[in-house]
Each structure stands twice: as C-alpha cells, then as structure tokens.
Chain A
Amino acid sequence: MGRIVGIDLGTTNSLVAYVDAQTGEPKCIPGPSGSTLCPSIVSLDPDGSIIVGEPARRRLLTQPERSIYSVKRLMGRGPSDVQSELKLFPFRIDPASKNVIRVQLGDRVFTPPEISAFILRELKNWAESHFGEAVDRAVITVPAYFNDAQRQATKDAGKLAGLEVLRLVNEPTAAALAYGLHEKQRGKVAVYDLGGGTFDISVLKLISTGEGDIYQVLSTNGDTHLGGDDIDNLLQAFVHEQILQHDQIDFSPHGELAQELRKALIDIKHQLSEATTATLRFPLPNGNVFVREFTRGALEALIRPVVDRTMVPVKLALADAHLKPSELDEVVLVGGTTRTPLIRRTVQEFFDRKPHTELNPDEVVALGAAVQANILDKGVKNMLLLDVTPLSLGIETYGGAVAKVIPRNSTIPASAQELYTTGVDNQTGIDIHVLQGERELAKDCRSLARFALRVPPAPAGLPRIEVKFLIDANGILQVAAKDVRTGTQQTIEVQPSYGLNDTDIERMLEESIEYAEQDFAERQLIEARTEAETILKATAKALANPQAVQLPVAERYTLDASVAALQEAVKGNDYKMIRRQIDELNRATEHLAELLMNTAVQTALEGKKLAEV
C-alpha cells in the first residue's frame, strides 16, 4: 500500500499535505516551482497532453478555448444550473450535455470530475516526487455546504485520479482540526471560510475527553457559489463599463483581453489588502493605456454586497446551534479571500472578538485534511470529527410536497427508515424521489435521485417495503430496501439526477489511462536506470584514466564488484535495488574520484560523487 495524503481541491488553488512521521506536524508539499499552491487551472495542449497548475495559467491568456479555471463551480451540477455562471465564466459547455455537464477544451469534451481528476493527479505527482513513494489514498476536502451530488462528483474525481478517497472532510472542519492542533483551542468555535468560489460557516464544539479530543460540528451553513470570484466579477464588470465609456471598447467577457484584465484586477485586489491605494495600468488594443487609481474605500463600497451576503448564512448557522454571537469562544478565518480587511472587520464586529488568522489561510484546510488522513491511515486516533449534513434530506410526497426524513445539521452518519405500501391492487413498483434542501416543495429542492421499488403483486396496501436512507460519514446518500413481510433485501438502482453512473465512471477510468502517466513504479524505474547509466559511464571513463592505477587492489576489487552488481540490477525491474546499487557504487568510487582530482581542487570536492566531478 502506498502513502496517504490530504488534499484541498479548491476553486482557485489546490494543495496537498501530509503528516511528518518524525514531528507529527502536518506540512504542505511544494510543487516543482517551490510553491505549495497549485492553481486549479487545466489546459489541453494541442498535442493532446494535459497541463495543470501554474504552466496552465499562461494558457488561460494564450489559449482560452483550450483552458479552464474554477471548474469546482460545475461539480455535481446540471446544465440548467449554471446558466448564470456562463455570463461570467469562460466555460464552454457542450450543448449536448444532459444531466452531467460536459466542458469543451479544444476539440475534446470532459466532465467536471474528469477535469478535477487532472488537478488531483498533478498533486498526487507532487507528493510522489516528494516521498519517492507511490501515493494511492487520500482525504479530500469539500465545502461544508456541498450537496450529495457535488460530494459524489468529488469522490468520482478522486477515483479517476487513481486515488482511493478514504474520506471527504468539510473544509471548515478540516481548518478547525488544524487550528485545534496548533492552538490547543477548546470551547465553541465559529469557522468563517470564504474561498475562491464557496462560502461556509461552521460552528463547532471542541471537547476534551479521557480518550482524546472530539470536534463536534453543531451546525453549518453556506453558499456554494459565493467567493473571491464574485468580488473579481464585480471589479471586472465595473472596469469593463468604464473602459466602454472612455474608450468605446466592448470586449467579449470570455476573450483574451478580458482574462488579462481579470488578472490585473485580482492583483489590484490583493494590493489593496496591504495598501490603501493601488493603480491599474491596463494597455488597450487602441494604443491607449487605461489608468485608474483605486482606494481601499472604493473597493470596499463595491464589494460590501458580497460580504453582506456571507452574514446571512452566519446568522442561520448560529440560530441552528442555538448560540448568540457573544457565546462563541473563538472565531477562525479560513480561505484566501479572508485576507480582505473589510471581511476581517465585519467578522470581528459581528462576533465582538478578534478572529484567529495565525495559520496561513490558503494552507490550513489542506493541513487539516492531512491530519485526518493520518488518523485514518494509522488507525490509532487521538481525535474524532463528528460532522453534520448541511441540508435536510426529503422524499417527494403527494402533490409535489417534501417530507423531511433527516433534518439538516444531523450528525453523520445519519439514517431514516420509511415504510411504503401500494395504492392499487397488483401494483408492481413504487417510485421514490429523493431530494435535498429546506424548501417545502420538491421543485424548489435539489433532486438527488429517483428509483423504483419492486413490489410483488398483492392487494393494495398489503405490501410493506421498508426503505432505509443513510447519509454516510462523507455526507453521501446510500439507499437500501427490504420487503418487511419476506425479509428479502432488494438492491436499488439509483439513477443520480446530476451525476455519473457506474458505467460512466468505468468508461472514464479506461479513457483516463490515455492521460495517466506511467505508473509510479514504472516512472521510478526509468529514472533509476537513466541515473545508473550515467554513473556506469562515468566510472568506466574514470577507470580508463592513467591515474586510476594508483587505486589499491582491494578497492579496485570492490569497485569492480559494485559495477557488476549495478549492471545486473539494471537488467531487473526493481527500482529500489537499482537505487541501492547506485549508492553502493557511489561509495566505492569516492576514493577514485579524489585521486583523479589534482590536489588543489581535491580539498574543495571532498565527498563528491564521481558523476558530479
């Protein structure tokens, strides 16, 4: 079994983290650029390969039709859900999309879970390079307010990336875990998590018991389409309008220029978190440069509606937890967008308490995911998360009304049993429609799934079919049905309303092999063989040097044996064996390398490997 990691699959950035075995501390893993942030951007190269992260960012500008960002907004959603997003985001949705959105990148179409899988695979590679070992399991975080379909889509993405998803953890809960560990916090804690595209508020109770710490979520609320993106959209629309007035330039919101402007404005937004003024200089196609000075005050006036929108879920979550703002012991800010001074001020005023910002708001969720991953991996736990389901689960009844069977903020796993019977003689099926949401009518709630119960022919009202609805620890629904009279279980074919079915997943798994790089061990083998060849060549060259005769016979004998052993190892498929023999040969050639140096350089190069000389 390979290593396990914690992954924050974010709207704007994604991160991967693990718990260091020596220190017991969670750490984020940097990518090739040295940064721990992997921009959640995916681009399809014309040669068919997939580019992820920072290198894909440039392609957003140069090849916008082959690139996509903020794909998290599309997870678990249907085409009709995202019409409003299409005005603001350069998503190109395949018109043939049915219950699952298909996004066009160049001449190919991908579902959101497939695109997310590319990001997960990239992070998996970062971690594998870091460990020098395969990674095959993960804990992935999701917004607490994600519904069943959005969670299932995230789990599917993990599977497509070759990861066994051991648990989906809610982002604010993960953050609380990282903070609890770091600050030894106790009592009632509110976590305000405003990321790139999602907003969550969770209220937790941190309890110390004899066995360990329990993080019990009391309530959660949020908005899965509210975040830093919305601030950027406001800024972009505002400046668009100004450019239109001054320079009569109306550019398509999806084109290259719009992407350039968006990038420049995000930079202004970031500057205004530190400074009180910032100046935008934006070159226009007509040769003019659009110059405008922004003050923090003006930005705050513009974005106040977004900040105010976050306070509605905050109040609802507190009401569900039966708490007043003053009854909270701690408030924690999570997510890059909470660097905005207006947000910090607003939260501080509401709770009348200085919020915690000690941990890096970009990294804290991934760190918490790593802690949970470590607990699940080791099986020895010193803490336990008790999370809740964010939305009520309901069943459609007569007249399109919804009967709630599991109320929101129920601790998960949670379940409910319902008994069904027939209305007419010899009726052979009962249709069940499962929904999520707080509204009273089915049409106002989120449709999760439909399925039909099979009923043996009998007079009306006689059959008794018990259906068990169970929300598991990931917040994902499972359904089971039993004929009460005969005790026979029936397997239910649940047709997800907005998700991939098993056949879709199987097909995508097959297709993903095309994009998957070689298997980890294979990649390691290739790297080890290349390195072995280099050192074998260098050794042969060194031995051909006249100075080599100075080497004592015993050392020469060891050296020859090491060369033979490495040559033998290279013929095999065990990369670890090759690595061992490389190390062996490196040691055996140390003296030879010294001999070959002239005395002056010799001291400087002491301990160097032959291949490096």
Chain B
Amino acid sequence: MATPLHITNPPLVCWNCHERTIGTHFCPGCGKLLQLPQGSDYFAMFELPRKLWIEMGALEKKFLQLSWKLHPDNFVGATEQEREISLQRSSELNDAYRTLRDPIARVEYLLAIEGTRKNGENKQQAPPELLEEVFELNESLDELREAKAEGSDTALLRHKLEEAEKNFEEKLAQVDAELQLAAREWDQVIDSAGDETARRKAMSKLNELLNRRSYIRNLVVNVQKELL
C-alpha cells in the first residue's frame, strides 16, 4: 500500500462557521484560519509524499509561502482563538521545516510516524563489529584522563586518539552514505507501492543505520571533548 499523499481524515468542520473543509489552511466558507487536522504529519503539511528525497529549493519556497499566511503577525488584531490557532499552526510549520530540512532528523521522524522508532530513541549499544575498536578507544580515553590528572605527558595518547577519531569519522561518513542508499530504497518501495514486507525491511534497515550513526557520533563527540 502506498503512503497517502494528502490528509486522509474525513472532511472536517470549521471551528467558526461549521463549513465542511478539507486539506486547506483557511475555511472556504468564512475565510478563518483552520486548525491542523488530526493525524496530519510534517510531510502532509508540505503536501509531500512520505519519501526521504526532498527537493530543498521547493521545500524552502513552500515554507516561505506558508509562513507568509500563517505567521502570528497576520492575526494581531484577531480574536484570541484565532491568535492561538495561528501560534499553533506557525510553530508546527517551523517544527516541520526544521525536521524535514535535516536529512537525519527527517529519517528519524519518518520512522517515528511509521511506528518503527520512538521519538528521541537512540540505542546506545555498540554495533557488534565495532566492539573491539570501541573497547580500545575507551581504554585510551581512560588513560588520557589519568595522564591529565597526574599531569604526565599526553602527547602520545593524544596522537593515538586523534587517529582513532579520524577512523571513526570515516566510519560516520560511511554510515551516512549507507543511509542515503537505504533512503533511496525506501523511496523505491513507496514509488512501486511495495507490500508491507518490503516496507518493514526498508524501515528496519534505516532504523539500524540510525542507531549505528548515533552511536558512532557519540564516540566522536566524546573523543573531541577529551582532546580539547
């Protein structure tokens, strides 16, 4: 089953004039700003399919267009309820743009709305094939901390850690490349209206890569902190 392109909720009713509305920002009946329909997501907000490749120029253009319409500046003289709706709508728009603009946040969000990943979840288990290197890295980090505390020479340890950092940075680049491939696979599943098994497979691949990425990223940050 393909991901629906647009909001699939049954037609909603305007909070002001009770006109039936669908997928618009302003009520066709009375022109009031509408609340975001329940179940709408960031992709739908930009009228995009749930695909991971996004044309950034078009995304920005849409963002600016919607900002122009939804921003609280437009509702300074309006009723409190309208001001409230504008605040909600424009913050959701900004949250959506911030998420979709960033390739990693975009994947995390997709997995969250597809139910594969909990929001903010980051598994901190070392990927098995990295265990040995991680163990070695942690040892070097401990040694550096000790050496610093004792005030002894750290030059050699620093050099070793810098090498390790470079090694993990390369691995990070590798994961990013793999993520791109996996994203393309996901998009193909969507395009070809792939079955549930194909979707699951593409998603679990993305999820695993994200966990790997977050783990390596943390390692790099930790090393950088000790080397400062």
Q: Which residues of A approach B to under 8 Å, CB–CB?
A: 166-167, 207, 209, 211-212, 214, 216, 375-377, 379, 381, 384-386, 403, 407, 410-416, 470-473
Contact = CB atoms under 8 A, between A and B. Distances in A.
A376 B68 CA distance: 14
A415 B95 contact: yes
Interface stretch (B14-22, B69-77, B206-214): B69-77
B91 A414 contact: yes
A386 B95 CA distance: 13
A375 B74 CA distance: 9
B76 A413 contact: no
Interface string B73-92: 11011000000000110111
A209 B98 contact: no
Contacts of B87: 413, 470, 472-473
B174 interface: no
A384 B90 CA distance: 13
B94 A413 contact: yes
B72 A415 contact: no
Contacts of A473: 71-73, 87, 90
- Interface of B, secondary structure class, is helix
A384 B73 contact: yes
Given A413-B90, A413-B91, A381 B73 contact: yes
A166 B76 contact: yes
A214 B77 contact: no
A415 B77 contact: no
A407 B87 CA distance: 18
Nearest to A207: B64
A407 B98 CA distance: 10
Contact of B94 (A375, A376, A410): A410
B91 A470 contact: yes
Interface residues of B, number: 20
Given A410-B98, A413-B91, A414-B94, A211 B68 contact: yes
A196 B113 CA distance: 49
Contacts of A385: 73
Contacts of B65: 209
Contact of B74 (A214, A381, A411, A472): A381
A471 B94 CA distance: 11
Nearest to B70: A413
Nearest to B120: A403
9 contacts: A209-B64, A211-B68, A212-B68, A216-B64, A379-B76, A384-B71, A386-B71, A410-B98, A473-B72
B67 interface: yes
Given A411-B94, A415-B92, A472 B76 contact: no
B79 to A, nearest CB: 14
A411 B68 contact: no
Nearest to A416: B95
Contact of A414 (B68, B74, B77, B95): B95
Contacts of A386: 67, 71
B210 to A, nearest CB: 18
A413 B73 contact: no
Nearest to B225: A440
Nearest to A1: B77
